[in-house]
Structure 1
Amino acid sequence: MSWFTLSGAIFLNGVLLASAAGALGLNYRKNKVFNTGLAGIVYLGTLISDIFGMLFLVNPYWSLPFCIIIGAVLNLALNILYLDMMKKTGDKKTVNAVAIAACLLLYLVGRLLFSLFLNQFGFNVFTSLKSLDFTLFRTPGIIIVSVALLLSTLLLQFILSPVVDERGLSRFDKWECLIYGIAGASACLTGAFYSFWYGSGSTIIVLILSSVVIGGIDKKLNPYLGGGLTAIVWIWLSSIQRVVFGVWIFEYSFVGPILLAVISIPFFPKGIIGKFRSIVEHGY
């Protein structure tokens, strides 16, 4: 792999992981629930893009409106469920457990639906999403739209900060619906963009959870830093063929990283980078 290709892979992977981790961070800052269901929504986005491009032979960019709607509706439904559970139990541990179940359920349902489509329509092995992409100024279109997504979500993070930090999980109004809708839509779009170069699979779930564990999710920028660092490590390991993760990442082995992330994040929301920044800035 040339340095140019390697740099492009690191950049795109970092942008996408940062966007996905930022969606988890936005959701967490609003209701203090570690919504692992968003990782499942990202995975669904990869499948939706694959279904359009590699099964139906339709330009996968046509899948993006569907990703926006499906991601927003699913995440809004998940957070309504979390609110209902919180009112009934008053225990966020139970809510976090429901979030884990939601991620696993979304993953299993996604695989089932994809298998049904695959059996019915077949799989065009000669088609890749990358070959269906456009170029602008000698730059792959997926890089351009991914950067646009990242910048848009970053801008919305800052614009919505007063509303996001106003209160925790208590009730829903138009602002809550907007925040959860944005988080879900951006997560699903991230998955759709990810599948252009990296395909679909449980690896994306592991990488997202690694990003939030490394960067933390209690601050606006920390998840983005975690996503960038995770991308560098992941692509570096892949490029030198030290498949440290690949030897144990099978389609269901992401359960371990989910449990690790869910156990650590509620007690350690700053993450590794966030904790380091706190020590440097405040001495603790």
Structure 2
Amino acid sequence: MDSNVTIVTPAYFIISGFSGIPHVNYYYLFLLVLFILSVVENSVVMALICFDQSLKTPKYIAVFNLAFVDVLGNSALVPKVIDTFWFDHNYISYRNCLTYSFFYYVLLTMQSLNLALLSFDRLIAITFPLRYQIIVSLKTMFSLVAASWIISIFNMLVAVGLLIRLSFCRSVVINSYFCDYGPLYRLACNDNRPNFIIAKVLPAIILWVPLMFVLISYMCIGTTLAKIAGAQDRMKAFKTCSAHIILVAIYYLPILFTVTFDTQMPRNARIISLSLAAVLPPALNPLIYVLQTQEIKQSLKRVLAKLKHSKIAVK
């Protein structure tokens, strides 16, 4: 950039969000309910994994990390959305907006990468069962989780760093429900081509690469299952993957639908679709794992049984 160019940074941005949507207060209440459910459910899953020795396996390291990310993601998003629109505090300072955008996309990236980690775990468990404990050790899973965090943080540092070079000398109204990267960089009145490139490249890194890995993993798993002679063995192996397949569908389908039809969707429809894609998976993920995963169901039953016996003992 020319050193003589003055960068105009506004004192604040205005988040326009859910304007013009009828009965929108009911939707805010719905988001609040989902947020509370998400925090409670994911906290229960994390507590079970922490205190149950039988769940201290590589697979549940990834499950714990997903629950942790879901709690952070919804805690970063929903309270701010409620405060912004329910209480009409739709002004956000320049620095807070960039910080908000950074954390939101770091956690969004982590959700996607975490689903890829879970598919890696299932891939090795089914295709190389005898070598599973050697390939997928606790150390390996911790390393993969740490690498996912590093990738997520680095990508968003680059993206947000490119926002700092933008000059906002026209509108300060963000047409989204949070400090959304796309609507934000489009407000700039100087060259935003690097931001445009990042906005096209990052979804490939965040969404398409992990999704392709998941799909290839399940193609390999399907090939392996087809070689298993007994139908019962195939069904048992499929059940171990069912929870993860449902998580992948819940996470990717709404986002990919919105990204695919982004330019054709009305503004408010896009905002609602994106907000649901952000808050529904964290609320549904724990329920799916509790209902679909035998180990967690048994762990929860043991905890509930202990609580019941302790109450009887107190009486």
The TM-score normalised by the length of structure 1 is 0.34
Larger Rg: 2
Structure of higher RCO (CA pairs closer than 8 Å, 6+ residues apart): 1
The TM-score with structure 2 as length reference comes to 0.32
